[in-house]
Amino acid sequence: MSSYFTDLAQQYIDGEWRPGTGSWDIIDFNPYDGEKLASITIATVEEVDDAYRAAERAQKEWGATNPYARRAVFEKALALIDEREAEITEVIIAELGGTRLKAAFELHLVREFLRESVQLALRPEGKIIPSPVDGKENRLYRVPVGVVGVISPFNFPFLLSVKSVAPALALGNGVVLKPHQNTPIVGGSLVAKIFEDAGLPGGLLNVVITDIAEIGDAFIEHPVPKVISFTGSDKVGRHVATVCAANFKRSVLELGGNSALVVLDDADVDYAVDAAVFSRYVHQGQVCMAANRVLVDRSVEAEFTEKFVAKVRTLKAGDPGDPQTVIGPVINSSQADSLSATVEQAIAEGATALVHGTTTDNLVEPSVLTGLPADSALLRQEVFGPVVFLVPFDGEEEAVRLVNDTPYGLSGAVHTADVERGVNFAKQIDTGMFHVNDATVHDEPLVPFGGEKHSGIGRLNGETTVDAFTTTKWISVQHGRSRFPF
């Protein structure tokens, strides 16, 4: 077992590693074999306060630091991830049940976002804005918000922590990070260790490992953070948004999805099959952008279904440490039970299981279901695991209606021989992102990432990250004398 699970099983507050003072421990388990990885005494409300106050103190000097000096930290962090890639991979496999393919995918994206953060430190620009008043000079400054609170999920915890933490720091802010209880090391302590070793001044980044049963809403209600960046379910996101609004805080919410991959009548079926299998089953389907639904034109339904089912049957489920494994365990027993219940509910409603995977502990094998009644609630909700619904349609108009028939609007994809037909289709879908002739799962450092409807509020990446973690300040200078009415 990696030393990370012993050395990093602590809180990281004001540049120091220290145990929490709560009355109970979070136990970190390997979701595949149930091995106890770490025991972490939770942080209390007082420690959340300590963390935010430390970030507030440290941010003043950091925000005034030359951005060229700030970016050196991110360059060093990149080098450290390269040096420690093998060990980090093993930690991802152990704590998340992520396969080696998934670990490589996550580490690749972490590097990409860190590279962007190197540049992001230099991105904010001021403006001189004309005034109708003679002699008036209007200066618009882009400044850090101060302190950002980050709440990251369990599915891509290293990436989705770094994706908010690194830009917020690069733009001159302090950060307090609360990782998911199931991934406290990869989503929390590991991030802190990388930045500590990269030379980030103490206090700027703090990690509190805790639970709402202990701290309630203290993390988001605290007066110090001006922005809360949350990635998780729409149910929790709704609560985060409500609390933030009541406390005059900005929230950036990256929430769930119910994406569809659409196969039109002129699609390259073999290619569409490959894209659809990846879109549904990457990281056991525990991806917000995953294709819960695969919609297929009836003219190619038989061919697509036969090839899709055949490919799904080749996906090896088992030990995530085995390089041949494609389907590892889901994160916990609650998730496994929920997925099994979803499959049984679909069958009870009249669906046919073309592939009916078994569940052993947290290992949920792939299932492929077809014939689910059109009014089934299962077609409109997020299914966070290796279960897919195949849905036939007649023509593009029906396909557009079916894709949009969900409260979510995150991602999606359409396959067609005519690119412009695909773009026209994509324009009709109420999502934040949509892809032509590709998978539904994508994230790039420069492209705005986020959803519509219940899939979230706000965007991250590129210029939208600057908007998320900075604010504008108007300073006017009057050259000469103003005239006043009295």
Predicted confidence (pLDDT) per residue in 405-430, tens digit: 999 999 999 999 999 999 999 999 99
Same domain, 125 and 214: yes
Predicted confidence (pLDDT) per residue in 339-372, tens digit: 999 999 999 999 999 999 999 999 999 999 999 9
8 A C-beta contact, residue 297 and residue 305: no
Percent with pLDDT over 70 in the chain:
100
- Tell me what pLDDT residue 123 has: 84
Confidence of residue 124 (pLDDT cuts 50, 70, 90): confident
The answer to whether position 197 is within a domain reads yes
Predicted confidence (pLDDT) per residue in 1-29, tens digit: 689 999 999 999 999 999 999 999 999 99
Annotated active-site residue in 47, 106, 214, 254: 254
8 A C-beta contact, residue 261 and residue 413: yes
Same domain, 265 and 303: yes
The answer to whether position 449 is within a domain reads no
State yes or no: is 254 an active-site residue.
yes
Is 150's pLDDT higher than 70?
Answer: yes
Same domain, 325 and 411: yes
Query: Residue 407 sits in a domain of what CATH number?
Result: 3.40.309.10
Predicted confidence (pLDDT) per residue in 199-245, tens digit: 999 999 999 999 999 999 999 999 999 999 999 999 999 999 999 99
Mode of pairing for the β-strands spanning 291-297 and 387-393: parallel
8 A C-beta contact, residue 10 and residue 22: no
Annotated active-site residue in 47, 116, 214, 288: 288
The answer to whether position 293 is within a domain reads yes
Residues contacting 427, CB < 8 A, separation 6+: none
Mean pLDDT value across residues 463-468: 95
Distance CA 282, CA 280 (A): 6
Same domain, 136 and 36: yes
Predicted confidence (pLDDT) per residue in 75-109, tens digit: 999 999 999 999 999 999 999 999 999 999 999 99
Same domain, 318 and 344: yes
Is 125's pLDDT higher than 90?
Answer: no
Same domain, 53 and 110: yes
Count the domains in the chain: 2
- Tell me what pLDDT residue 1 has: 62
Same domain, 339 and 414: yes
State yes or no: is 288 an active-site residue.
yes
The answer to whether position 179 is within a domain reads yes
- Tell me what pLDDT residue 459 has: 97
Mean pLDDT value across residues 266-270: 98
Same domain, 282 and 346: yes
Mean pLDDT value across residues 47-55: 98
Same domain, 96 and 217: yes
Domain extent for 197: 4-255+455-474
Residue whose pair of structure tokens reads 């897919």 in the numeric block: 388
